[in-house]
Amino acid sequence: MKQKIKQLCQDIEKEKNIKILFAIENGSRAWRMHSKDSDYDVRFVFVRPIKDYIQINKPKEVINLAFDEDGVPCSVEGSLIDMSGFDIFKYVKMLSSSNPTSIEWLMSDVVYYGEQNKILKKYATESYSKMSLYHHYKSMCRNNYLNYLKSGSLVTYKKYLYAYRGLINAKWVVHKNGLPPIVFSEALNAMRNIIPNSIIEKLFEIIDLKLQGKEKDIIQNISEMDNYIEVFLKDDSEASFEKSHATLNELNEELARIVLN
């Protein structure tokens, strides 16, 4: 599959007249929570020819594509390969605000094409805002919980994993003073002294169910897990960070080098 995705990246470069800097996995396969029928969540960063940026009509900042198992374009629903790419300007702006998605793209160890930029990766790991990252992850937990779990309709194991990934990663930023690992089980094991063990064990049970392809089974709400999320969302007392003093000089210089190269 890696070779097929690499070929798709090369085809996209020709068709869209762009250069893909790197393409990675940023879904359940990167988190090591994929089941046999999980799709491939391919995310990439691209740059356009300089002349495309010097025009009245702004070029598209996002490219979304989907393919079936044979690499034939299809709708996103039911696709095997879901691809989404960000223009370098949009991507670097997200990175400058410590958006977790942009950071995770640089940390993923499943690289399909190209190479993650070392300067951007250095910025991501050394100059991120702890406060911004914490609140981004907390927002991910809140959105998944309110939209899919608290409503009580179509509750699935998968939605619990997504809500708790936001919660665990937010607490990691506070208690571990660093970036949370991409592999979710590593984060869970390291947080046993912070998160109740009953919650940790339940999450491992859910991961096992997901690996068996049962993550979309409709289930009843799990009251203990819901209550823990509720308490987390109402309490911001643990998020007392100093303001980040990172500058954008390094990012601006690398952005100019990439675009003008």
Mean local confidence (pLDDT), 18-27: 96
Q: What is the pLDDT of residue 184?
A: 94
**62-67 sheet: strands from edge to edge:** 62-67, 81-87, 40-47, 19-25, 111-114
Q: What is the pLDDT of residue 196?
A: 96
Interacting residues of 189 by C-beta distance below 8 A, sequence separation 6+: 200
Residue 228 CA from chain centroid, whole number = 23
Residue 239 has pLDDT above 80, yes or no: no
Lowest mean pLDDT among 31-40, 123-132, 210-219: 210-219
Closest CA to 9 of 113, 116, 115, 117: 113
CATH 3.30.460 holds for 2-127: yes
Does residue 186 come out as left (phi exceeding 0), alpha (psi in the -120 to 50 range) or beta? alpha
Mean local confidence (pLDDT), 239-248: 72
Name the residue ranges covered by the structural domains of the chain.
2-127, 130-234
Residue-wise pLDDT for 128-153, tens only, equals: 889 999 999 999 999 999 999 998 87
Dihedral sign, Cα of residue 81, residue 82, residue 85, residue 91:
negative
Residue 86 has pLDDT above 80, yes or no: yes
Residue 242 pLDDT grade (very low, low, confident, very high; cuts 50, 70, 90) = low
Residue 246 pLDDT grade (very low, low, confident, very high; cuts 50, 70, 90) = confident
Residue 247 pLDDT grade (very low, low, confident, very high; cuts 50, 70, 90) = confident
Q: What is the pLDDT of residue 243?
A: 66
Contact 128, 98 (CB under 8 A): yes
Q: What is the pLDDT of residue 61?
A: 97
Backbone angles phi, psi at 246, to 5 degrees: -65, 140
Mean local confidence (pLDDT), 111-116: 97
Contact 185, 178 (CB under 8 A): no
Mean local confidence (pLDDT), 190-205: 95
* Average pLDDT score, the chain: 92
Q: What is the pLDDT of residue 185?
A: 94
Q: What is the pLDDT of residue 81?
A: 96
- Dihedral of CA atoms 169, 167, 189, 104 in degrees, nearest 10, equals -30
Q: What is the pLDDT of residue 8?
A: 97
Q: What is the largest CA-CA distance in the chain?
A: 57
Report the percentage of the chain scoring pLDDT > 90.
Answer: 77
Mean local confidence (pLDDT), 47-57: 94
Closest CA to 240 of 175, 153, 157: 175
Mean local confidence (pLDDT), 47-63: 94
Residue 245 pLDDT grade (very low, low, confident, very high; cuts 50, 70, 90) = low
Residue 96 has pLDDT above 90, yes or no: yes
Q: What is the pLDDT of residue 154?
A: 80
Q: What is the pLDDT of residue 215?
A: 72
